[in-house]
Every structure is written in structure tokens, then in C-alpha cells.
Chains A and B, each alone.
Chain A
Amino acid sequence: MIMIDLELIKQVRSGNEEAFARLLKHYTPYVYRTAFAFLHEEHESEDVAQEIFLKVYRSIRELQDISAFNAWLKRIITNSCLDRLRKQRPTPVPDSQLNQIVEQNPSKWDQHIEMQEAINQLIPEYREALILREWQGYDYQEIATLLSIPLGTVKSRIHGARVQLRKILSE
């Protein structure tokens, strides 16, 4: 995520609509792509993207340190996506069963599968940990806090996700 001009954020905070439109233009691709990576559903991703920008619009004046805007926005994006995922997924799968599930459901897609599709085939627990690490750039401790899981679980989920992804792509 590329940092936007701080002056523009100041203008948005002062209620400048044109500045907000420019901010929206700058961040929409990142916000939508992150939502799509988590949710893999076009309509849901658009809905979450809209919800995220509405939160930004309503609360940007409350942001104390504007240089922390990117981290603040990233947190809003992540929390909104994870909240939506939790609503979609009523019962999380225990970590001890994650490997078994993949083994029990062998995939049928062809050799030239796209990375996007391969990521989508990962178990949700693996997928969200991998996206948080690879796309959003959070470190393991931050991921543990965001997902409310132990650090050891983060390590095993990220490693498991990479092993699974490699396996899927090689099939």
C-alpha cells in the first residue's frame, strides 16, 4: 500500500470533498483487492469496500497522528474483512484438523491453475493468515493479535498455507 500525500489527508480531515474523492481513487484498488482476497466474492467485496470508506469518512477527524494514516486504514480494512468472514463462517475449524480436511478433499483443477484460484482453494484459516502476511505485510505477532490466536498457531498456519499452496500449484 503506497502512502498518500499527508497534505491530502489534512484536506480530507478539514472536510474537503474533492480531496476525499482523490483519496478514494488512490486507495480503492488496494481496499477492493484485499477484500476480494479475503472474501472471494465480488458483491461482498464491493460491499465491504464501501463500508471501509464510510468508516474512514466518518472517523478520519478522530485520527490523532496523520502520519499513521496507512496503518490506521490497514487496520480498518483488516478488521472489516475479518468481521465479514466471521459472519460468513459460523464455526471455525480446529487447527489440528486443517491438514486432514485438505487431504480429504483432493482438488481437480488443471496444471495451469492461476495463483488467485489456488489461494481461494486454501482453507479459510490458512488463507487469512497468508493474506495478512504476504499481502498486508503484518508480522506474526500482529497476526496473532488480529486473529486472537497464539503465536505458535500463526507460525503453523502460515507454514501450512505455503506447503498447501505449493502442493496445489504442483498438481
Chain B
Amino acid sequence: MNCSECKAHISEFLDGELSELSSTIVRKHLLSCSDCQRLADEFSSLSFEIEQAMDSIQVPVDLEERILTSIRLEHNTASKQVWLTGLTLILLGIPILALFYSFFLGSLRLVYKTSSVLIHTWLTLITIAVPPMLGLGITLVVTLVAALGVYSLRALLKGFQVNEVLL
């Protein structure tokens, strides 16, 4: 390795970004070349000085307090918005409910009747077609699969929210 090759790779060497073999070659060259060794030393001390310089940046004294105040303000505004949205929904919902209450009541009755029929059919089939223990097992498995489905959907939606924040 000559000096220009060594100097071209010196930053990668110091940052631990070279392969084991390349690092050994650079290290060997540095032992035999005072010029390249000086550059390596200068770059190393630069790293230290940069950190020192960053640490010496003066932080405004009341910054924490101002950030905290702005976050509290945002929190209060958000809470007020939640209340306002809830109130608006209720105020809008009451007339809608009054207008379509027979439809909603009918829908609820339909959902109740359908689920009762489905559960009744399921229990009858399970009791007639398979032994009781196997029937219980199948019911448990079906319930678990349904719960897992709901949980996966929730986790999936949560995952999307995290990505959104990070982006």
C-alpha cells in the first residue's frame, strides 16, 4: 500500500468501516510511515475536538420551560378539541337518531336475531355431529382464531402509526 491509497482510506480505518484484511494493511503502513500516521493522529484528535465543540454549544436557559409550556398548551388544545368533537357528534347524532330510530332499532333486532340463530345452529350441529369434548375443543379454537384476528388487526394498525411518526 502506498501513501495516497492509505490516506484515501484513513477515515474508513479510523471509523472501523474497513474489513479486517484492509485494516491490517492500513495499520502496517501507518507503522512504517510517519506522514500517514500524523494524518491519522490529526483526524483522531479532530473527532475529540468536534465532540468538545458540540458539548460547548450554549443551550438557552429557559428553553426547557418554553418547550414544556408549548406542549401543555398543545395538550390543552387537543383535550378541548376532543370535547368539542364529542359534543358536536352528540348534537348531530340526536336528530339523526330521532329521524332514523326505527331503522336503527330494526338493524339491532336483525343483528341480535341473526347472531342468536347462528349460535343456536352452531351449538346444535356441534352437539349432534361430534362428541361433546371435541365440540368444546372446536368452539375454543374458533374463538381463539377470531380473537387472534382482532389482535393482529390492532397490532397492524398500531404498526402503521409508528411508521407514520418515524417518517
- Do A and B assemble together? yes
- Smallest beta-carbon distance A23→chain B, Å: 10
A155 to B167, CA, bound (A): 25
The answer to whether B158 touches A62 (Cβ under 8 A) is yes
A residues apposed to B, CB below 8 Å: 20-21, 24-25, 28-29, 32-34, 36-37, 42, 46, 49-50, 53-55, 57-59, 62-64, 72, 75-76, 79, 114-116, 119, 130, 133-135, 139-140, 155, 158-159, 162, 165-166
- Smallest beta-carbon distance B72→chain A, Å: 8
A149 to B57, CA, bound (A): 29
**A135: B residues at CB distance < 8 A:** 50-51, 54
Secondary structure dominating the interface of A? helix
The answer to whether A115 touches B10 (Cβ under 8 A) is no
Q: Which of B20-28, B39-47, B117-125, B135-143 contacts A (4 or more CB under 8 A)?
A: B39-47
The answer to whether B165 touches A55 (Cβ under 8 A) is yes
**B70: A residues at CB distance < 8 A:** 50, 54
9 contacts between A and B (CB under 8 A): A28-B63, A29-B59, A33-B54, A46-B63, A72-B166, A75-B166, A135-B51, A140-B17, A159-B10
- Smallest beta-carbon distance B5→chain A, Å: 13
- Smallest beta-carbon distance B68→chain A, Å: 6
The one of A50, A59, A159 that contacts B165, using a Cβ cutoff of 8 Å: A59
**B47: A residues at CB distance < 8 A:** 134
- Answer whether A130 and B50 are a contact pair too, CB < 8 Å, given A21-B68, A54-B74: yes
Q: Does chain A have a CB within 8 A of B2? A: no
Q: Which residue of A lies closest to B43 (CB)?
A: A162
The one of A25, A64, A79, A166 that contacts B46, using a Cβ cutoff of 8 Å: A166
- Smallest beta-carbon distance A100→chain B, Å: 19
**B162: A residues at CB distance < 8 A:** 59, 62-64
The answer to whether B49 touches A162 (Cβ under 8 A) is no
The answer to whether B165 touches A134 (Cβ under 8 A) is no
Q: Does chain A have a CB within 8 A of B4? A: no
The answer to whether B64 touches A25 (Cβ under 8 A) is yes
Q: Does chain A have a CB within 8 A of B11? A: yes
**A21: B residues at CB distance < 8 A:** 64, 68
Tell which of A42, A79, A135 has the most Cβ of chain B within 10 Å. A135
Within 8 A of A (CB), among B147-167: 158, 161-162, 165-167
A34 to B75, CA, bound (A): 26
The answer to whether A119 touches B50 (Cβ under 8 A) is yes
Q: Which residue of B lies closest to A62 (CB)?
A: B162
Given contacts A76-B165, A114-B53, A159-B8, 18 further A-B pairs with CB under 8 A are A20-B71, A21-B64, A24-B67, A24-B68, A28-B64, A54-B74, A57-B71, A57-B75, A58-B165, A62-B158, A115-B53, A116-B57, A135-B50, A139-B17, A159-B10, A159-B12, A162-B11, A166-B46
Tell which of B8, B67, B70 has the most Cβ of chain A within 10 Å. B67
A62 to B166, CA, bound (A): 11
- Answer whether A24 and B158 are a contact pair too, CB < 8 Å, given A76-B166, A158-B11, A159-B10: no
